[in-house]
Structure 1
Amino acid sequence: MTMTSVAKRNWQALTESLRAAGERRLVLVEGEPDWCRSWVSGCLETLDASQALWVGRAEDAELAGLTGIASKQFKRWLGRETSVLVWDGWQGNPPDGVAALSGTLQAGGLWFWLMPPLEDWGTFSDPDYVRTGLDQAEHHAFATRMAGVLAADEDVIRVQQGHEEAPVLPLLKPGSSVFELATTPEQAQLVSQLVRFGLGRRRRPLVVTADRGRGKSAALGIAAAELLLAGRQRVLVTSPAVDNLTSFFRHAAETLGERLAERRDDALVMEGGASIRYLPVQDLLADKPDAEVVMVDEAAGVPAHWLREVLLGWPRVAFASTVHGYEGTGRGFAIRFRQVLDRETPQWQSVSLHEPVRWAAGDPLERLVSDLFLLSANSPKVISPAVEDVVVERWHPAKASEQALSEAFGLLVDAHYRTTPADLRQWLDDPGAQSWRAVVNGVTVGVLWASVEGGLAPELAEQVARGERRPRGHMLAQSLATHGGFPEAAVQRTLRVVRVAVSEEHRHLGIGKQLVAKARHACKEQGLDGLGTSFGGESGLLAFWQACGLRVVRLGLRQETSTGEFPVQMLCGLSEVGGQLTQGLRERFAKHWPVLVPRHWPDLAPDLLAAVGADLPASARLDAGDLRDLLNFSEGYRGFELTLPVLRQLEQCSGVMAWLQEQSDLALWCRMVTQGWSWDEVRYAGLCTGQKEGEKGLRTLVRELLKNGPEL
């Protein structure tokens, strides 16, 4: 599509004025898909597309002469920069990807978003919906809300089919100075602090948090290079992907200058051999190479259990994370990881960056993206009330005011390790979603988000149980049908609690339990068969759900990517068939528990292992021979290995694991009996000095259990 010379000059003048002001803009291209692609291709001919990226179909990117990626590949481009970003929304709009790649745009850059007219967004069948089961919704509140935000923003440039010749381009008043990329005082101070940290005392980790565009990756790279120049021999850096470290390595190389002997995408080597090298987190932890300093960039994208291993594995570790980033995990990371830091390295340090480096303060695009995806959503801060001041009510986030929605979403961000813009879309658009909130004087202090699952036809449920079919959605229902072995779990209708969050000031007042109680009451009113949940295994959360009346029905075999925790699934049957299903799942899982534990959960924390075991129904009874063996073991006449089969039966008896939970040698029992560790392994873990002392501890436990434990 040709563009007039006047129009070309206007677009060129716009980018020049934006560059001078240090700002960026969204250009919303509204029309039929072929027209949108044709128009933007013509416009690109007038712009500097040397660092342009086209997100969409490969053939469209090739026709436009640009580098192209599919929307699902967005993480490959993090850590890089773009001068122009074309996002073909007709090919799908995963919120995490849209939010992420907008942050790659340089000052003076334009983001072209190809979409239907704004008034059609609520009914637009986004191709990305199929992936999450949202294609079943007739109306999309998330897209409608985004359209409203865009329509109200005067800084959004709208190009509409039929009116494309005269889009209203902003007139930027020339400032007193021209924006230049330069190290800010904050960034320079961070570099100095990182160097002091890298040359300083051990076990004083540094945690850097900042919004995107604040130059934290660049600061890490500069500091890494200065550490080599100061005499350090090996600095290692890790991140969710090496592509995220383009800025890190570029700034490190520029700092080393002529001292650099070898330069690769994942390594810099100085004359004499001192080096900065990238390793994937898994390889870093598997190989445990020596290094004076380890840096973790985009730490919020790394599973929490790996972060802890890195923290404890090297003498000086620096973590950097985006606070309000695409992954939405920055605050969750800060809150959850702070507990680990306080416990393991109480002398850790924290530093934050506030002033943007890659664009000017007050950049309209940064504000717009934050509004679109609630990246800056904050939970409210109010004085703790008395329990009677709390009102728990049914709530519809799609109909809520911006302030109420932001407060509620802020609670989810604070309470969970990984809450993303995609979660916001799922919450607003899922046709099966139901929500409740706890309110104090009009302020949201707690929120529960749930979704109705199941209701599949019996034939389909059988196929799901056999692993032949996997319909979108129905996470808990499908898991219990497939892995639990009960097809009826997919036939019955269950309300799964997706998230429950209470503000920090209002915890331990029973508000979470009130929210769950409301959801449970609604299940009965709607004739649902059960209330369930699935969460990353942690003993405190397990105790909360037990207090809400739910019981363990399954423990996942694989760790969750985000937290590294094994998912615990719990259920409460509310109808007759729901109760039968819950009981059947629990009895079957209890039967399989002794075999599964040493194979799949050999390193599970003893407190969680015992809590799950204590929750399960009894699956064994002891006979006279078993009791004789236990008595002989407790008195020191019978060896551990010969008694182990009976000890494993013993812990499956009613009340035994609950009794063991209260004993000081619980960890020794779990490691040796339940999880099948060797004596060398428990000795290395510090649970005993050797087999003799370990057996003595177990004999004492059994003797006390026979005397003061539950009736066998």
Structure 2
Amino acid sequence: MANNSTDSLPTVDENFALNQQLADQLAQILAYWHQQRQRHQRASLVLMGSKAWQTTLLEASKAQFADWPSELLWLDSKANRQHLRHQLGQTRSAQQAGLVVDMAEGLDIEAITLAEGLLPGGGICCWLLPEETAGLPAPSEHPLAKLLSFPWHAQDMTPHYALWARERILNADQHLVLLETDSMNHQDADSHINRNITHTRPPSTQPPSAELTALSAEQSQLLQLLYQHFRDQVTQQPASPTLLVAARGRGKSTLIGHLLNRLLADVDTPYQIALCSARPEQHQQAWLCLNPKHQDTVTRWAPDALLAQQPTLDWLIIDEAAHLPWPQLQKLIRHYPHCLLSSTSAGYEGSGQAWQQHLRPWLDQHFSDWREFTLTQALRWHAEDPLEALVRELSGQVDHQLSEQGGETAGLTPLPLHHLSWQCVTPQDLSASQRAQVFALLTESHYQTRPRDWQLLCSAPNYQLALIWHNSQLVGALWAIMEGPLPDWGPERRLQGHLVTQKLRQHHQTPALYSGRYARCTRIAIAKPYRQQCLGKQLVSYWQSHPHNIDIDSFTVSFGASPALWRFWSACGFHTLHLGVQADAASGRCNLIMMTPPQAQSLRQAYDQIQNWFQAQWLALSDEFQPLSHDLISVTEQQAWQVIWQQHPDWQVRPWQRTPPHQRQQALREYVLGYRPYEAVSGALIDWFEQQSEEKWHWPEAELLRWKQQGQSWAQCRQAWSASSGQAHIGRKGLEALLKARLQAILDFY
């Protein structure tokens, strides 16, 4: 990663010698930094001016201040988020910790959010702002450029987010703001700087290392509650999970370590306890808090290894549980119901809002006695830390309390339509406060809304919003991406974005779809007080009929398959065209694609072909992969799906004989060439195998095809093939290569 420390700063310009004005600014930096260290808060230093002047101040601070951070981690558009935990670990002291955010290089808000959460009290974050807005990042350097759909490029991003973030950084409370013009014009900067610094709180006596060495009063109280709860739970049947939830920097991992010490010291025969997390460093703090003798007792596991080996445990501790895929987390809880799940409550990491939205209802359904405990006091830094408040705002995590603003009776009486106002706009048409309301509602309602979505909502060029307002209060929001047309560069070329058309092209080889213009709904939400009044359907209808979308050929949507969502979109005129067979890591559900029938004749022919093929392929998908019937879907939901399959035309099985032979042969040829995946042709392949003469039983691959005909998984086929052929190391690709070779030989013959 470029620019990792102050060692890589440019050389100080000789024209910026330490004159009296710069010396005064260094004195202000030192006084402010020491003040924040006394409070056990992070210092937030804003330097607005030229890069040479900013470099001079940072280099001079490093040279003049003996306890200045030994390295400053630069968070620019090239920052590697995967390395941040290693470069700024939780156990690093405040004397070592510092961040630099250079707005001229672009803001990666997710990298900033992660790094800020690891920066301890007493550390420093330096915000480098260009003096003029023209100095904001060049389009080619925008950190979100790779997330834009084709053909949009970085230069198409609007500056709305960068300008808004710049204004918020300059006007944040308790930040030290220094301007280059103050030093160059020989002005006394004290009045400008001190208006953003408050001196009302007395200095804290809490040492910076308190999180690592001692428990707070809140932690101690919660330790006693958890300890008693765990002791009661050991013999309780049926067992039930326990949740420990808090914002970052509240000492969850430290509390876990002390809890384990208490439990293990209190019995003659130690409990069998395992620590588990998505990555080892995520439970490292809990491990370091263990007594050395207890480190020999507590085992550390990766979640996949734990599920594979399934050792006997009295307790399973999962730290940062939101980072585990939702299906994997469910399996761990089912197998180890005596478990403690600890995670942040922000909902922007790992599986996102799945932790907030899916876990609790699921626990209510399966474990009536589960308990939840919460830590609220900040320990890694002191309460009311200015940097925490600023980064929460920059990442869109402002609480708008949308679910309560409608009043207690808002959901009981239908809102008169003439009291509502409707909009179909780009996000840039809204004010910053209106965009914040939209993002708050979508975050509350969707499990995978991230800080970078807030950046994209402010600045991406191809987004559209359909909104319902009641006076100034947001009632409902639909977020859409405008897509197409696309160039047809062949079946092997994958372009950025355009999920629906490219997925359908991959499975059905229908390049005609690329000529269309589409509007894809990515999120839709109605505020809680206004639900159950058909406003969602009315919002979709308004969106589809709005004059802005008169040139749209078809409206599309993709979501984690559930009966309720399918019924909603079906009632809005959408039809099923694709069902994935792999469960999404966050939702635990397979991806379902629906689409409205296009009007253009060329597009309608492709649409009809895809729908007919899906109905013919559906029986094979449901038999072999069971994408809507796996063990993580409730019995009630499976029963609801059964009713849908039996009654709705979208899911009626279409005999393969009704699909023209040339289409089936072409699909199998495209599978052989690697243009279609197995899941798109498995039904046609089995039908083809059934039509072959009895000579097929002499093929070496005949048993493999028979196993697939019986609905066996690839893992089962791999085991059976290894046992019968002695080829122990052949995997799915090898087995598919055998099928493709046989297919090619037969198809070439004809």
Asked if these proteins are the same fold (TM beyond 0.5), I'd say yes
Q: What percentage of aligned pairs have identical amino acids?
A: 22
1:350-392 per-position Cα deviation (integer Å, ceiling 9, x unaligned): 2222221222222111111122222133324122153343534
Name the counterpart of 1:137. 156
Q: Alpha carbons of 1:566 and 1:120: their partners in 2 closer, same or farther (altered >3 Å)?
A: farther
| Equivalent residues of 1:397, 1:428 under 8 A apart | yes
1:24-75 per-position Cα deviation (integer Å, ceiling 9, x unaligned): 23223445667655653443343645574513589xxxxxxxxx96345446
| Equivalent residues of 2:576, 2:592 under 8 A apart | yes
Give 1:541 shift: 1.4
| Equivalent residues of 1:18, 1:24 under 8 A apart | yes
AA of the residue aligned to 1:153 = A
Name the counterpart of 1:175. 202
Is 2:441 the counterpart of 1:414?
no
Is 2:157 the counterpart of 1:119?
no
Q: Alpha carbons of 1:121 and 1:396: their partners in 2 closer, same or farther (altered >3 Å)?
A: farther
Q: Alpha carbons of 1:98 and 1:394: their partners in 2 closer, same or farther (altered >3 Å)?
A: same
2: CA distance, partners of 1:621 / 1:479: 22
Name the counterpart of 2:30. 12
Is 2:270 the counterpart of 1:240?
no
Give 1:18 shift: 0.7
AA of the residue aligned to 2:492 = G
| Equivalent residues of 2:411, 2:528 under 8 A apart | no
| Equivalent residues of 1:438, 1:515 under 8 A apart | yes
Which of these residues, 309, 313, 326, is aligned with residue 291 of structure 1?
313
Which of these residues, 483, 492, 499, is aligned with residue 475 of structure 1?
499
Which residues in structure 2 correspond to 1:183-194 (within 5 Å)?
Answer: 183-194=215-226
1: CA distance, partners of 2:711 / 2:640: 13
Name the counterpart of 2:518. 494
Name the counterpart of 1:686. none
1: CA distance, partners of 2:181 / 2:433: 36
Name the counterpart of 2:295. 269
2: CA distance, partners of 1:147 / 1:108: 24
Name the counterpart of 1:197. 229
2: CA distance, partners of 1:176 / 1:35: 32
Is 2:224 the counterpart of 1:214?
no
AA of the residue aligned to 1:419 = T
Moved more, 308-317 or 123-132: 123-132
Q: Alpha carbons of 1:399 and 1:228: their partners in 2 closer, same or farther (altered >3 Å)?
A: farther
Q: Which runs of 5+ in 2 are unaligned?
A: 1-11, 659-682, 688-707, 717-750
| Equivalent residues of 1:191, 1:219 under 8 A apart | yes
Name the counterpart of 1:619. 654
RMSD: 3.5
Give 1:524 shift: 8.1
| Equivalent residues of 2:347, 2:356 under 8 A apart | no
* Structure-1-length-normalised TM-score: 0.76
What SS class does the counterpart of residue 125 from structure 2 fall into? strand
1:85-111 per-position Cα deviation (integer Å, ceiling 9, x unaligned): 223455543222211211212112211
Is 2:398 the counterpart of 1:386?
no
1: CA distance, partners of 2:364 / 2:549: 45
Give 1:423 shift: 1.2
Which of these residues, 534, 537, 541, is aligned with residue 517 of structure 1?
541
What SS class does the counterpart of residue 360 from structure 1 fall into? coil
Name the counterpart of 1:321. 343
Q: Alpha carbons of 1:473 and 1:40: their partners in 2 closer, same or farther (altered >3 Å)?
A: farther
Is 2:172 the counterpart of 1:153?
yes
Which of these residues, 85, 110, 121, is aligned with residue 107 of structure 1?
121
2: CA distance, partners of 1:538 / 1:247: 38
| Equivalent residues of 1:24, 1:106 under 8 A apart | yes
Give 1:11 shift: 3.0
Moved more, 142-151 or 41-50: 41-50
Name the counterpart of 1:228. 264
Name the counterpart of 2:287. 249
| Equivalent residues of 1:78, 1:244 under 8 A apart | no
Give 1:586 shift: 1.6
AA of the residue aligned to 1:207 = L
Give 1:539 shift: 2.2
Q: Alpha carbons of 1:32 and 1:571: their partners in 2 closer, same or farther (altered >3 Å)?
A: farther
2: CA distance, partners of 1:137 / 1:312: 48
2: CA distance, partners of 1:217 / 1:179: 19
AA of the residue aligned to 2:279 = A
Name the counterpart of 1:636. none
Q: Alpha carbons of 1:105 and 1:413: their partners in 2 closer, same or farther (altered >3 Å)?
A: same
| Equivalent residues of 2:347, 2:355 under 8 A apart | no
| Equivalent residues of 1:539, 1:607 under 8 A apart | no
Name the counterpart of 2:387. 365
Name the counterpart of 1:587. 612
Q: Alpha carbons of 1:524 and 1:249: their partners in 2 closer, same or farther (altered >3 Å)?
A: same
Q: Which runs of 5+ in 1 are unaligned?
A: 59-67, 262-267, 624-644, 650-671, 681-712
2: CA distance, partners of 1:193 / 1:118: 55
Give 1:121 shift: 7.0
Name the counterpart of 1:84. 98
Q: Alpha carbons of 1:227 and 1:495: their partners in 2 closer, same or farther (altered >3 Å)?
A: same
1: CA distance, partners of 2:600 / 2:610: 14
